[in-house]
Structure 1
Amino acid sequence: MRNLDFTPLYRSAIGFDRLFNQMEKSAANNNAGYPPYNIEQQDENHYRITMAVAGFGEEQLDITQQQNKLIVRGTREAKDDASRQYLYQGIAERDFERKFQLADYVKVIGAEMEHGLLHIDLEREIPEAEQPRKIAINGTRLLESE
């Protein structure tokens, strides 16, 4: 049972249809398992995505942030492997494109390769105007959040 049907939830969850559509789209992703990755929350506003990209060099990887979407592409050079005869080929040698949906105010702050792992560091930076603030009761002054 790999396919989830969110239809019953549409009746009772108002305004979440975009979320359910994204979940259905990501469940239908054909390349869902390649390359494997981890998403780590380092603290309240810092995250790290680690992808296993063994066999790819830095020049073969492309990282793009476009609005609230992070796209990581790996492109291998076409090789003529007619001379090779594999008895077993367990190492994937294919191009990939992995997309991550980012929350508002999350931006990429850096990326590095280490031992075949691509580390992408993210930071959530909420603008001052969007941060919570305390309102005084029976008063007109605004108190900054503590």
Structure 2
Amino acid sequence: MDDQELQAIEANVRLAVEQLGPLSDVDFGLNEESVEWVEGFIERRRCRPDFDPEGVDGLVGVLGSFLGACLVAATGGGWRRTGDGWGVLLPDGSTAFPFVKVRKQLRDGVESGESIASFYRVAVHFIAAGRLRENPAAGD
């Protein structure tokens, strides 16, 4: 089952790049600039009068797959299934859950602090890089 689910994630990533890339004004791919563009895309969707935050499972699947693939590309991590669902295992051993974050932004928006771009930056530049670990020398 995991292989089929991973293939579905990869298909979602391809779909996101194929469909969103031409709409964007950035060099769209598995990079931070594209994550920032997708964050704006989510916010623009949320503003539409026909937006239903309960009917977003397909969008969560595609955009969560894309966000996770961006994390994998930036950190060298990998997809892993946990009891909480699919996440990205980061080099420091922690797991980031891109599907959960996309759903939260779709439901609550950046004005409530749910930003996939911030999630990406913290995961890549701080957690995966080991910069959030306590400095052992600080206790001396």
TM-score (norm 2): 0.28
Larger proportion of helix: 2
Q: Which has the larger radius of gyration?
A: 1
TM-score (norm 1): 0.27
* Larger relative contact order (CA 8 Å, sep ≥ 6): 2
